[in-house]
Amino acid sequence: MASTAIKTTNLSREFGAIQALNMLSIEVPAGSVFGFLGPNGAGKTTTIRLLLGLLEPSQGKATVLGYDSVNQADQIRLQSGALLEHNGLYERLSAENNLEFYGRVWRIPAAERQVRIRELLTNLGLWERREEPVSNWSRGMKQKLAMARALFHRPALLFLDEPTAGLDPSSAARLRDDLEKLVEIEGVTVFLNTHNLAEAERLCQQIGIIRNGRLVAKGSPRQLRAQAGNPQMEVTGLGFTGQVIRALQDRPEVVSAAHHNHHLTIHLRESVDTAPLVSLLVNLGVQVDEVIKSQSSLEEVFLSLVNEEENSGINHD
Partner 1 sequence: MINDILSIMWKEIRELILQRSGLRGGWIGLLILIAVFGVLFPLQSGPDWLVTPTTILMWAWVPFILVNSVVADSFAGERERHTLETLLASRLSDQAILIGKFVQQSPMVGE
* Site residues for partner 1 per CB under 8 A: 52, 54, 74, 77-78, 80, 82, 84-93, 97, 101-102, 104-107, 133, 149, 159
Interaction between residue 38 and ligand ATP (CB under 6 A): yes
Interaction between residue 45 and Mg ion (CB under 5 A): yes
Interaction between residue 53 and ligand ATP (CB under 6 A): no
Phi first, then psi, for residue 28 (nearest 5°) are: -120, 115
Which does residue 46 bind out of partner 1, Mg ion, ligand ATP, none, counting CB within 5 to 8 angstroms by kind? ligand ATP
**89 Cβ contact list (under 8 Å, min separation 6):** 98, 134, 142, 145, 146, 149
Question: Nearest approach, Cβ of 32 to partner 1 (angstroms)?
Answer: 21
Which segments of the chain does DSSP mark as H helices, in order? 44-51, 73-78, 95-105, 110-123, 139-151, 169-186, 197-203, 221-228, 242-249, 275-283, 298-314
Interaction between residue 207 and ligand ATP (CB under 6 A): no
Question: Nearest approach, Cβ of 194 to ligand ATP (angstroms)?
Answer: 9
- Which CB, 60 or 229, lies closer to ligand ATP? 60
Contact 305/211 with Cβ under 8 angstroms? Answer: yes
Question: Nearest approach, Cβ of 47 to ligand ATP (angstroms)?
Answer: 7
Which does residue 274 bind out of Mg ion, ligand ATP, partner 1, none, counting CB within 5 to 8 angstroms by kind? none
**27 Cβ contact list (under 8 Å, min separation 6):** 4, 6, 7, 8
**83 Cβ contact list (under 8 Å, min separation 6):** 146, 147, 149, 150, 158, 159, 160, 161, 163
- Which CB, 45 or 72, lies closer to Mg ion? 45
Measuring CA to CA, which residue among 58, 67, 60, 47 is closest to residue 11? Answer: 60
Question: Nearest approach, Cβ of 190 to partner 1 (angstroms)?
Answer: 15
Interaction between residue 20 and ligand ATP (CB under 6 A): yes
Which does residue 187 bind out of ligand ATP, partner 1, Mg ion, none, counting CB within 5 to 8 angstroms by kind? none
Which residues would be at the binding site for Mg ion (CB under 5 A)?
Answer: 44-45
